[in-house]
Amino acid sequence: MSRIQEFLDVLNNPTAVVQGSHPQDALLLSVMVHVAFADGQVEENEFALLGRLAPAKDPSELMFWITDEAAKPLDTDALVATFTSADDRERLLTFAGHMAWGDNQLEASEVHLIADLARALGVDP
């Protein structure tokens, strides 16, 4: 099972948390942070979801980490280099879409970010 699928499974199961660590985690979490923060704020349910995706992060420092990560540009070159299969790229977009809907609202800034990600990955959004 791919790491992206493991993250998707956590998104689909409200009691699940990511188990262990994987080299792709930093990139996947960066995507999630950028999508969650695309509208300039992280809602409570998005924050909780990020906590489940990054259980090793101390909850008291999670917002600081989110703010720091969101201030960095999303490394689409690293995403393209890491997620080379069409299936993984589709899953990555699905993953980003789930996060965009994490607050039950889809903001224009989130749509634009996902469209930019799709273009960078060479996937039809």
Q: Which two tokens stand for residue 75?
A: 């490394």
How do residues 11-36 score in pLDDT, each as one tens digit? Answer: 888 888 888 889 999 999 999 999 98
Q: Look at the block and give the residue holding tokens 């996060």.
A: 99
Percent of the chain residues topping a pLDDT of 70:
98
By residue range, what is the domain housing residue 83? 3-121
Q: pLDDT at position 12, please?
A: 87
Q: What's the CA gap between 103 and 87, in Å, rounded? A: 26
Q: Is the pLDDT of residue 105 over 80?
A: no
The answer to whether 50 touches 32, Cβ cutoff 8 Å, is yes
- Name the amino acid, one letter, at 6: E
Q: Is the pLDDT of residue 42 over 80?
A: yes
Of the candidates 72, 90, 86, the residue with the CA atom closest to the CA atom of residue 27? 72
Q: What is the pTM of this model?
A: 0.88
Give the pLDDT band of residue 82 (cuts 50, 70, 90).
very high
User: How many structural domains does the chain have?
Assistant: 1
Give the pLDDT band of residue 125 (cuts 50, 70, 90).
low
